[in-house]
Amino acid sequence: MPSVTPDQLSQTIVDALNALANRGSIAVSEGAIPAAVKVERPKNKEHGDYATNVALQLSKQAGLKPRDLAELLAQELKGREAISAVDIAGPGFINITVAAAAQGEIARAVVEVGSAYGTSDRFAGKRINLEFVSSNPTGPIHLGGGRWAPVGDSLARVFTAMGADVTREYYFNDHGAQIDRFSASLLAVAKGEDPPEDGYVGSYITDIVEQVVAAHPSVVDMPDDQAREVFRREGVELMFAEIKQTLRTFRVDFDVYFHEQSLHDSGAVERAIQRLTEMDNTYEAEGALWLRSEKYGDDKDRVIVKSDGHPAYISADLAYYLDKRERGFDLVVIMLGADHHGYVGRLMAMCQAFGDTPHENLEVLIGQLVNLVRDGQQVRMSKRAGNVVTLDDLIESVGVDAARYALVRYSSDSSIDLDLDLWARASSDNPVYYVQYAHARLASILRNATELGLAPAGQDFDPSLLSHPREGDLLRALAEFPRVLAAVAELREPHRLARYLEATAATFHRFYDVCRVLPHGDEDATDLHRARLLLVDATRIVFARGLQLLGVTAPERM
């Protein structure tokens, strides 16, 4: 008997609908029957293992009352293999109970494919560029951009699991006025002066000055222009190194570190502007060159070359986007903090001005702000950075696993307050420990089984033995995993994976509480022991894979 996943159940229902239509039992036209129907897991256990609302959806077209259509469909489904009971409830829901044997097969199916379980080819052939964090090299990574570090990385991992060809990219804004302010700030501190207006402050500035002076003692005797240049070059280099180190510590490995300066040096900016001009998407006015962004949905037209002849900030973004597309990416995703959401309109307009399709070739994801809370008080100032809270602050307070998990656990649409005391705690209050503990427990059972010389059921596996309600719950949870990964990829929402793992951890702990896996003392091992061991094996695989996709370690012991 094949295993029953929600997708397979959906297919079974579609087949049943087609059978009814072909027989003329329902008057639904060929194309009206969907390729897939919604199969849900009812919250109420009395509503079976799975439920579908398809009778409610199709009743109007079929010219039948929902319950009558449900009745016809239920009769059609009843004879099907793997389905043990079909009931109609409420306005026309069809509640399905799956045969234990078919459900038990899920354990075998998971173990057979191992860590590949849940992957698919739905993004096969798609080349995706993910740009995230992209914190300026004028200071440590702040939490606005830092929130995207684990989220973007996790998305990359899931896209890859869906067959996509993914590039993680970090954009260094190492050109322009802010870098000037940065080097001016370094110089001022070196000379014992107050930093300039809009300058950068914080102990990290002093650190950099000390390092630059130590490496280049002569800098203190240079004229300001020369000294500023040394501070600029060396200071930015030190910030690059520090940012990369933070990311490495955080287990976020970028494939490309892209420097804004290179777009200006290579002439890419001019080429992009020329391209837009050829497409009649620019015009000159008031001494500046403008992009016709309003025509493509932006609030207003935007200056791309200022009246002083210097390119505006957006000009590099034009060139950068074009560069990504020319490198062959079908989809360009840019992840920004909420403080940059005002930029979305012009980015989308830019995309369209190049002849591309917004939301298809370019997506901009906005992450709301992250606050840190300690002792019930919002952490406002960083020792390091003076005016912002940094990713390093979070990592130092709670560790890499908890920091990654805490940032990836919530919808990016919500601003969040992270309680540092909670996330630093090694207890069940802390969701990351709760999930990791489930994995450690599973690993422990498998370890003990090995010591007992007991192996999971193999060819002789009898899936119908896994008939305990807790086993059914756990099997259905495992069957959800592919759907969860698909939702994460489609919606670009990795927090769904974290929530799934938490719910599945709870399901597993409940199973563990009442279903003894290994034989007691000198008891002989039965087929049930070995079947449950297979289920444990499958569950551990899902936790290991899920945690890996979140970039969080899956400990063997805790």
Comparison of 163 and 482: residue with beta carbon closer to RNA = 482
**Min CB(210)–RNA separation in Å:** 25
> 164, 174, 135: which is closest to 328 by C-alpha?
164
CA atoms within 13 A on the CB side of 278: 8
Does 451 engage in binding with RNA (CB under 7 A)? Answer: no
**Min CB(214)–RNA separation in Å:** 28
Comparison of 23 and 516: residue with beta carbon closer to RNA = 516
Q: Using CB under 7 A, which residues numbered 5 to 34 contact RNA?
A: none
Distances (CA, A) of 226 to 133, 232, 554: 32, 10, 51
Ordered DSSP codes for 234-276:
HHHHHHHHHHHHHHHHTT---SEEEEHHHHHHTTHHHHHHHHH
> 411, 400, 398: which is closest to 372 by C-alpha?
398
Per-residue interface string for the shown chain with RNA, residues 71-90, x marking contact by CB under 7 A: ------------------xx
Q: Using CB under 7 A, which residues numbered 192 to 211 contact RNA?
A: none
Q: Using CB under 7 A, which residues numbered 308 to 327 contact RNA?
A: 308, 310, 312-314
**Min CB(461)–RNA separation in Å:** 18
**Min CB(185)–RNA separation in Å:** 14
Does 302 engage in binding with RNA (CB under 7 A)? Answer: yes
Please list the alpha-helical segments (H only) found in 63-99.
66-78
Tell me the three-class secondary structure of 169-196, residue by residue. EEEECCCCHHHHHHHHHHHHHHCCCCCC
Two tokens at 391? 């990713």
Strands (E), 375-487: 377-379, 416-419
Comparison of 81 and 417: residue with beta carbon closer to RNA = 417
**Min CB(338)–RNA separation in Å:** 4
Q: Using CB under 7 A, which residues numbered 453 to 512 contact RNA?
A: 483, 487, 490-491, 493, 495-496, 499, 502, 505-506, 509-510, 512
Report phi then psi at 63, rounded to 5: 70, 30
CA dihedral 45, 48, 50, 52 (to 10 degrees): -110
Stretch that binds RNA, among 19-27, 250-258, 280-288, 383-391 (CB under 7 A): 280-288
Comparison of 270 and 556: residue with beta carbon closer to RNA = 556
Choose, by CB under 7 A, the member of 243, 445, 477, 479 that binds RNA. 445
Q: Using CB under 7 A, which residues numbered 508 to 547 contact RNA?
A: 509-510, 512-513, 515-518, 520-521
Comparison of 61 and 119: residue with beta carbon closer to RNA = 61
Does 428 engage in binding with RNA (CB under 7 A)? Answer: yes
Per-residue interface string for the shown chain with RNA, residues 386-425, x marking contact by CB under 7 A: ------------------------xx-xxxxx-x------
**Min CB(88)–RNA separation in Å:** 8
Stretch that binds RNA, among 145-153, 161-169, 274-282, 438-446 (CB under 7 A): 438-446
Q: Using CB under 7 A, which residues numbered 89 to 128 contact RNA?
A: 89-91, 93, 95
Does 368 engage in binding with RNA (CB under 7 A)? Answer: yes
Q: Using CB under 7 A, which residues numbered 131 to 170 contact RNA?
A: 136
**Min CB(109)–RNA separation in Å:** 20
Q: Using CB under 7 A, which residues numbered 328 to 357 contact RNA?
A: 338-343, 345
Comparison of 222 and 482: residue with beta carbon closer to RNA = 482
Strands (E), 322-447: 331-337, 362-367, 370-374, 377-379, 416-419
Comparison of 21 and 422: residue with beta carbon closer to RNA = 422
Please list the alpha-helical segments (H only) found in 114-223.
143-146, 148-161, 177-190, 203-215
Burial of 543 (0-12, 13-18, 19+ CB in 10 A): buried
Two tokens at 298? 């932006």
**Min CB(447)–RNA separation in Å:** 7
Rounded Cα distance between 104 and 485, Å, is 21
Cα 322 to chain centroid distance, Å, stands at 25
What sign does the dihedral 413-417-420-425 (CA atoms) show? negative
Does 40 engage in binding with RNA (CB under 7 A)? Answer: yes
# chain residues binding RNA, by CB under 7 A: 96
Ordered DSSP codes for 507-556:
HHHHHHHH---SPPTTPPP-HHHHHHHHHHHHHHHHHHHHHHHHT----S
Comparison of 219 and 443: residue with beta carbon closer to RNA = 443
> 380, 381, 379, 385: which is closest to 206 by C-alpha?
385
**Min CB(14)–RNA separation in Å:** 16
Rounded Cα distance between 490 and 474, Å, is 25
Choose, by CB under 7 A, the member of 53, 103, 129, 281 that binds RNA. 53
Does 433 engage in binding with RNA (CB under 7 A)? Answer: yes
Choose, by CB under 7 A, the member of 201, 366, 455, 525 that binds RNA. 366
**Min CB(557)–RNA separation in Å:** 4
**Min CB(213)–RNA separation in Å:** 26
Q: Using CB under 7 A, which residues numbered 174 to 193 contact RNA?
A: 175-178
**Min CB(253)–RNA separation in Å:** 25
Comparison of 70 and 156: residue with beta carbon closer to RNA = 70
**Min CB(21)–RNA separation in Å:** 20
**Min CB(236)–RNA separation in Å:** 12
- The b/e string for 156-173 (b: 16+ C-beta within 10 A; e otherwise) is bbbbbbbbbbbbbbbbbb
Rounded Cα distance between 549 and 161, Å, is 9
- In whole angstroms, how large is the CA radius of gyration of the chain? 29
Distances (CA, A) of 443 to 76, 438, 473, 528, 542: 43, 9, 20, 19, 12
> 205, 249, 209, 241: which is closest to 384 by C-alpha?
205
